[in-house]
Chains A and B, each alone.
Chain A
């Protein structure tokens, strides 16, 4: 029985598709390897949890790792590519290439359920709420629509007066 205060969070369809692609993939071990690759700007999240890792398939007789940038100018993408190469080389996989795919464009709908919780614990308000990640107050205001990176806005809590980053819905 579902209690009244329990909330059922529905997974956005976009994320559901990503999950299904991974679950039914013949390259599941490679997905698991790449879980080590974190976003350099938000080191608590892996590129899989962020929805940057889109697909792993075979093309031209080698592995093709498909990733998508969060924002078109995201400087983390070259570091992410380097980290993917490092992890795969470390595992003895030599023949692969990385494809950067632009379409469909990245959306916060691609964040997985863990990502939202991890962001909050890290002190960043996840896209679905602008409540203060420190004290939980809903009384907050926007300081600037762009924060320390393109994916975040800068907010301030009116209860505990702490500033915080908001991972903006996109």
Chain B
């Protein structure tokens, strides 16, 4: 790598947090295995989870090379305070409506985000973004479709979907928060300005919500802190389950 050590380190930390987002959401999605409302959706969710796991591995492999750590270390030996994922991905899976709404809100954001990140000045980040973008675009299709089915379905599905939307709305603002690390990487063309995506995301999300017989929640509270390692109580439980094997048998390999 021909970058300065400071830039390389920034890129490593940046890729690591993108990996954290993907790993934690992938783990949450896996919880639907044997719990989904129907077999076909169980397969679909497991496939989406696999895309996230694949993304986490691409990010961790890249970050690990810079930071001098293995993929397994990054995934299985870091505590909640060291994880920098967004809060929205660590929330418990809830009911099917909750998971669908979360996926919809995230897909709409990630399509925009990774579309921008394809232009990153760092070729490997751009390559990961390009691969991710194709996969997310397909997820987005399914998420939009499910939001429509749930919102326009029965009174119960509509009501549960609305409840999910209301409880998730305040977690979405964290998508658009920048910090020093990402600001620096943005200035050099390596990362994407999250704040700049707010309006496009809102327009897309609001239009679809309205078309699905759902009401846009009012902006009020907003939860943040994931990027600083300040998490909800749920992450620790998730990590405990995900990391138990590696922590019980240190250095365990497949």
Contacts and interface: CB of A to CB of B under 8 A. Distances in A.
Interface of A: 69, 71-75, 102-105, 143-150, 154, 168, 170
Contacts of B52: 73
Interface SS majority for chain B: helix
B51 A103 contact: no
Interface string B134-149: 1100100110010000
Nearest to B134: A105
B135 A145 contact: no
10 contacts: A71-B54, A72-B131, A73-B52, A73-B53, A73-B55, A73-B57, A102-B131, A103-B123, A144-B44, A168-B138
B132 interface: yes
A147 B138 CA distance: 13
B43 A103 contact: no
Contacts, number: 66
Contacts of B54: 69, 71-74
A121 B48 CA distance: 28
A72 B43 contact: no
B138 A170 contact: yes
Interface in B113-129: 123-124, 126-128
B47 interface: yes
B47 A102 contact: no
A146 B127 contact: no
A154 B40 contact: yes
Given A105-B130, A147-B43, A154-B43, A72 B55 contact: yes
A74 B132 CA distance: 13
Contacts of A145: 44, 138, 141-142, 145
A145 B44 CA distance: 7
Given A102-B127, A105-B134, A148-B43, A71 B50 contact: yes
